[in-house]
Amino acid sequence: MSNILEIKNLVVSYGGIEAVKGINMVVPEGEIVTLIGANGAGKSTTLKSISGLVKPKQASILYKGKEIVGQSPDFIVSQGITLVPEGRRVFPNLTVLENLKIGAYLRKDNLKDDLEYVFTLFPRLREREWQMAGTLSGGEQQMLAVGRALMSRPKVIMMDEPSLGLAPLVVKDIFNIIQTINKEGITVLLIEQNANMALKIAHKAYVIETGTITMEGTGDELLANEEIKQAYLGKTK
């Protein structure tokens, strides 16, 4: 299978301090790839660089073989890479429907089918179509954030800590949805602190520590790895 995203030697610095120190990773088409690591390891920065929200110091990011470094975020979204930002970031004073329509902002064609698709995926959102997004529960807001991203018809959906601040049961729902989306052919790049859940559903996983990739493998390989168990899964020998 071909790689839909190839990240080569990504370096990002914030005011002279390097947050990401030259990482290399590939995202094969149609798979779930996860990037796990502690706070401040550079996970979010990596995603933001791919989506164009942060300008990397140096990098080559190939999307379907084409260089996308230096492109504007709206161009990158229009090409089919959409970010579900950390902490959900729905538009609180707009209705659920408006939120979804903004997700499809760059598309000028008919949204009816896509709305229907999102509503079948998340029936709760259909019930709350006219409700302000700020009045939804945390889990519903996360569903809305994912739904909003799906409205742009992405080929690659990048999720920044979708489980953040959610109850365990809701987290399970969200991960089920991630798998559903993936089965429909959308490539998922997931970053998580909840390593256990992320590794269970991932086809491929990377571990990032203070800006460098220290380990990679399939999800199962890393789940079985002793170091990972100690550092991220909270299991002792």
Q: Which residues bind another protein (CB under 8 A)?
A: 51, 53, 72-74, 76-78, 82-83, 85, 89-94, 98, 101-103, 105-106, 148-149, 152
Least distance (Å) between residue 100 CB and another protein: 10
> Between residues 81 and 199, which has the closer beta carbon with respect to another protein?
81
Distance between CA 170 and CA 233 in Å, rounded? 19
> Between residues 15 and 168, which has the closer beta carbon with respect to another protein?
15
Residue 170's closest CA among 137, 127, 192, 126?
137
Six-digit token string for 218: 């399939």
> Between residues 22 and 73, which has the closer beta carbon with respect to another protein?
73
Least distance (Å) between residue 72 CB and another protein: 7
- Exposure b/e, 27-49, CB count within 10 A at least 16 = b: bbebbbbbbbbeeebbbbbbbbb
Strands (E), 43-164: 58-63, 66-67, 81-84, 156-160
> Between residues 157 and 231, which has the closer beta carbon with respect to another protein?
157
Least distance (Å) between residue 228 CB and another protein: 30
Q: Which helix (H) or strand (E) holds 5?
A: strand 3-14
Least distance (Å) between residue 218 CB and another protein: 29
Least distance (Å) between residue 131 CB and another protein: 13
> Between residues 29 and 98, which has the closer beta carbon with respect to another protein?
98
* DSSP 8-state class, residue 194: -
